[in-house]
Amino acid sequence: MKTKKTVFVDCNDTLIAVRHANRGEEAPAGFKAIERDGQYFHVMARPSAAPFLSALAQDDCEIVVLTGGSTRIQGLLLNLARLGRLVTDIIGYDLRGAAEVPENWVLVDDLQNGSISFEEKLSMLGITRKTVGETKYVQVVKQHCVQCVAFKGGEDKDPLSGLLDTVREKLGNTYQSK
């Protein structure tokens, strides 16, 4: 049985800090190094990511990572950061169109309206200014999107757990609008 609420969450700079690296480059403190298919990365889980995802799971939310990157690579990075087990699914740009958009959903992302990458994520959900019109697009962003502060590694000065009430409120508002 599918849950009634879905939280789409961005990966890079939202759940994890990831840096492209050179072969043999030492990972900075707190980061883990990974190499796949000749690509080198340094990855650090946002300290508040696991508690945030766990709280959403306890709220019976389906958690889908929505990323402009490769589904496979993002899965590897999330697993290295020990967050992969906390998500229901990962949809990368290579699986564009694979996301089923339920009535009750929220997108948590470090980017927001006006950013090309943000608009590409919404287009992965079938939502574009062209398809829904400008007025509806602005309404969708206001009703379904939550912006977090980008995480680049180190201290998590703006933890994701601080967004839980906003996410829950947006899910509740869409649920009541049935």
Domain ranges of the chain: 5-16+45-176
Q: Which residues of 84-98 are buried (b: 16+ CB within 10 A; e: fewer)?
A: eebbbbbbbeebeee
Q: How do strand 61-66 and strand 104-109 relate by DSSP bridges?
A: unpaired
Express each pLDDT in 126-158 by its tens digit.
Answer: 898 999 999 999 999 999 999 999 999 999 999
5-16+45-176: CATH topology is: Rossmann fold (3.40.50)
On the CB side of 56, CA atoms within 13 Å amount to 35
pTM score, two decimals?
0.88
Percentage of residues in the chain having pLDDT higher than 90: 60
State both tokens at 2. Answer: 């599918």
Q: Which helix (H) or strand (E) holds 178?
A: none
> How does pLDDT run across 19-47, given as a tens digit for each residue?
999 998 999 999 999 888 888 999 999 99
Amino acid at 38: G
